[in-house]
Copies of this chain bind each other. A is one copy, B any other.
Amino acid sequence: MSTLASASDPGGDGGGDLRQSVDAALLHQLLQAALQYADCCREVIWQIRRQGIETDAKPDLSVVTNADLAAERAFRESVERDFPQMGIIGEELVASRPQAAYQWVIDPVDGTADFACGLPTWGSIIGLFFQGAPIVGVIDHPDLGIRVHAAHGLGAYRNNERIGLEENTSSRRALSGRIGLPSRSSFIRCNEDGDIFDILAHAHPDFRALRTCLNHTYAATGQLDAAVEWDANLWDLAATRIIVEEAGGRYVCVRERQQPGAGKLYCAVFGRPALVDRIAALLAAHV
C-alpha cells in the first residue's frame, strides 16, 4: 500500500501501531496547530460572509463558495508555513506532497449548500494522518458554537470538555437508537438505486438527516447514538474516526472503492459500539 493510498484510507486499519512512533511533544504541537487552523478557517469564513457569499456550481453540480476557497487557501498557507514537509489534501484544490508520511486533510466548509442558505449546520473538518492512520481531528461548527476534537491517545473533547460514549443504560432506553443518516441523494450519487437508504430508513424510521458533518459531531458526543456516511470523500470523514474512537466509540468502514471522476469513496458507520455493530451487520448484507 503506497503512502498516499494509506494516507487516504481513514476507513482502513491504518496501522495503529505506527502511531506510537509519533513523538508526544510533536503530537501536542500538531493538535494545537489543528485547533489554530480551525480558528483561522472560522475567521476567514465569517469575514467572507460579512463581505458577501458568492456561489458557484462545480462540475458535479455541487455548490462551492468564495468562503470554501478562501478558507482552504488560508489553511494551506498555514500548513506550508508550519510544516512544509507535510502533505495537504483538500476538497477544493489539488493535493500537495502526496508521498509525505504526514497528510493534512481539510474540508473547509462541509455542507456548503447549508452555509450558502444560512443554515447553521455546516462545519469545517480538519484531519491529520500519519502513515495512513488518523492522529488528529477537528470538526468545528462556528454558527452553532460547537467544536469537537481529538488526538491519538489524548482523548476526545467537545468545547474542551472530555467526551465519552457509554453504551445506553436501561434508563436511556426510550432515547436509544437515534441515528443520523445522509439523505437519499448520497446513496444514489454513484448511480446506485438507493435501496440501501430505503433499508436503513425502514430499519431506523426515527432517523435524523442533517446532511452534514453535524451528524458526525453528534455521533461522537452521544447526542445521536450512531451515524452513517455514504459514498463520502476522504475530506468528509477526515476527522471522524479519531474523534469517535478517542470518545470510546466504534468506527466501521463498510465499503471503500474508486469511483471514476469522484476519487475514492467511503461508506462508514460510527457511534456507540453495539449499535454500530448492528448497523454494520445490516449493511454488510447489502454492499
In contact, B175 and A116 (Cβ under 8 angstroms): yes
Most buried by B among A57, A117, A185, A211: A117
- Chain A residues close to B by CB (< 8 Å): 55, 57, 61, 63, 113, 116-120, 144, 171, 174-175, 178, 181, 183-185, 187-188, 194, 197-198, 201-202, 205-211, 218, 221-224
State which of B174, B198, B208 has its C-beta within 8 Å of the C-beta of A198.
Answer: B198
Say yes or no: B174 contacts A117, CB within 8 Å. Answer: no
| Chain B residues within an 8 Å CB radius of A194 | 202, 205
Chain B residues with Cβ below 8 Å from A224 are 117, 119
Q: Which residues of B contact A61 (CB under 8 A)?
A: 174
A175 to B210, CA, bound (A): 16
Most chain B CB neighbours (cut-off 10 Å) among A178, A209, A221: A209
* Residues of B contacting A175 in the complex (Cβ-Cβ under 8 angstroms): 55, 63, 113, 116-117
Known: A218-B119, A223-B117, A223-B118. A208 touches B209 (CB 8 A): yes
CB distance from A232 to the nearest CB of B (A): 15
In the complex this chain forms, how many copies of it are found? 2
Are B208 and A174 in contact, with the CB atoms below 8 A?
A: no
Contacts of A178 in B (CB 8 A): 113, 117
Report how far A136 CA is from B113 CA in the complex, Å: 32
Contact among B119, B185, B202 with A205 in the assembled complex (CB-CB below 8 Å): B185
Docked Cα-Cα span, A28 to B210, in Å, equals 36
17 A-B pairs with C-beta separation under 8 A: A61-B174, A63-B174, A113-B174, A113-B175, A117-B222, A120-B144, A184-B201, A184-B202, A184-B205, A187-B205, A197-B201, A198-B201, A201-B201, A206-B211, A208-B211, A209-B209, A209-B210
User: What 8 pairs across the A-B complex have the smallest Cβ distances?
Assistant: A209-B209, A184-B205, A185-B205, A185-B206, A57-B174, A184-B201, A117-B223, A118-B223
Q: List 9 additional contacts besides A55-B175, A198-B201; criterion CB under 8 Å.
A: A55-B171, A117-B178, A118-B221, A119-B218, A119-B223, A184-B205, A185-B206, A194-B202, A201-B201
Chain B residues in 8 Å Cβ range of A144: 120, 144
CA distance A57 to B175 in the complex (A): 10
- What's the nearest-Cβ distance from chain B to residue A55, in Å? 7
Which chain B residues lie closer than 8 Å to A188 at the CB level?
Answer: 205
CB closest residue in chain B, given A64 = B174
Shortest Cβ gap from A103 to chain B (Å): 30
Across the interface, name the chain B residue whose C-beta is closest to A212. B208
Q: Give A287 Cβ to nearest chain B Cβ, in Å.
A: 19
